[in-house]
């Protein structure tokens, strides 16, 4: 009888060991990380260095990376479906769906379209004025926001010593007084020290507010702060 009981305990121990051995692999599968790499070039085949690249998933979260001097970029984010976006002056907007955990996407940027508009104005016959003149409020005049005070972020010593680089994406509302309201980090995966350094500096920024028809209005802004180590 004792031999039978001992054999049952042995089997139980063996089953527990197998289950505990599988547990780490199950956890790893549930938190798998996706890797996306590639190179950015223009239509001539020349690399496009230091361009900002946005990786957006189906929520409001985003990640950002800046290509290096060789036009190479990389992301390390949770596996899933994303949209890769690039908006750069002179180039057409790039947008491409990508599914991680592993992918490589070399990006070729096309030149942006150029358009011109010509308005030819003639003299129309003036209608005969009758009654009280009617005043029309003319709009469409926008004066863009202008950054007037900028505190530059410092590189966190811990991140610098550890060789950590990255781009911090911040979102805020520029108030009618030119202050930043609701400043927050919107990256999915970004080093905490870099994020804090960016926040501490940017929250001190001040703008001339956007004017719509001469009146200040609130606008949403996205700010990209890139931390890069010289090698």
- Per-residue pLDDT tens for 127-156? 666 666 655 555 556 677 788 998 889 999
Token pair belonging to 99: 């599914």
For residue 19, is it within any domain?
A: no
Q: What pLDDT is attached to residue 25?
A: 44
How many domains does one find in the chain? 2
Final residue belonging to a domain, choices 109, 132, 159: 109
For residue 122, is it within any domain?
A: no
The distance from CA 110 to its chain's CA centroid, rounded to whole angstroms, is: 21
For residue 188, is it within any domain?
A: yes
Q: How confident is the model at residue 4 (pLDDT cuts 50, 70, 90)?
A: very low
Mean of pLDDT over the chain: 79
- Per-residue pLDDT tens for 158-170? 999 999 988 888 8
For residues 103 and 158, state if they share a domain: no
CA dihedral sign of residues 92, 95, 96, 100: positive
26-42 mean pLDDT: 72
For residues 94 and 156, state if they share a domain: no
Write the CA distances from 126 to 131, 137, 215, integer angstroms: 15, 20, 33
For residue 166, is it within any domain?
A: yes
Identify the domain containing residue 174 by its residue range: 142-227
85-113 mean pLDDT: 86
For residue 40, is it within any domain?
A: yes
The stretches of the chain forming alpha helices (DSSP H) are 2-30, 157-161, 192-202
């Amino acid at each position: 009888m004792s031999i039978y009981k001992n054999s049952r305990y042995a089997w139980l121990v063996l089953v527990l060991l197998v289950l505990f051995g599988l547990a780490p692999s199950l956890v790893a599968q549930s938190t798998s990380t996706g890797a996306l790499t590639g190179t950015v070039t223009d239509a001539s085949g020349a690399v496009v260095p230091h361009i900002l690249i946005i990786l957006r998933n189906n929520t409001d979260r985003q990640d950002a990376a800046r290509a290096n001097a060789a036009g190479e970029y990389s992301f390390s984010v949770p596996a899933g479906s994303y949209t890769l976006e690039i908006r750069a002056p002179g180039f057409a907007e790039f947008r491409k769906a990508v599914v991680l955990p592993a992918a490589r996407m070399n990006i070729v940027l096309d030149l942006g379209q150029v358009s011109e508009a010509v308005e030819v104005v003639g003299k129309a016959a003036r209608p005969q004025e009758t009654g009280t003149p009617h005043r029309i409020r003319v709009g469409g005049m926008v004066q863009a926001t202008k950054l007037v005070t900028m505190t530059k972020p410092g590189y966190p010593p811990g991140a610098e010593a550890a060789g950590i680089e990255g781009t911090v994406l911040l979102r805020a509302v520029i108030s009618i007084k030119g202050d930043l309201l609701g400043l927050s980090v919107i990256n999915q995966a970004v080093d905490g020290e870099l994020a804090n350094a960016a926040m501490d500096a940017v929250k001190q920024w001040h703008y001339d507010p956007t004017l719509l028809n001469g009146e200040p209005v609130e606008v949403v802004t996205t700010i990209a702060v890139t931390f890069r180590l010289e090698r």
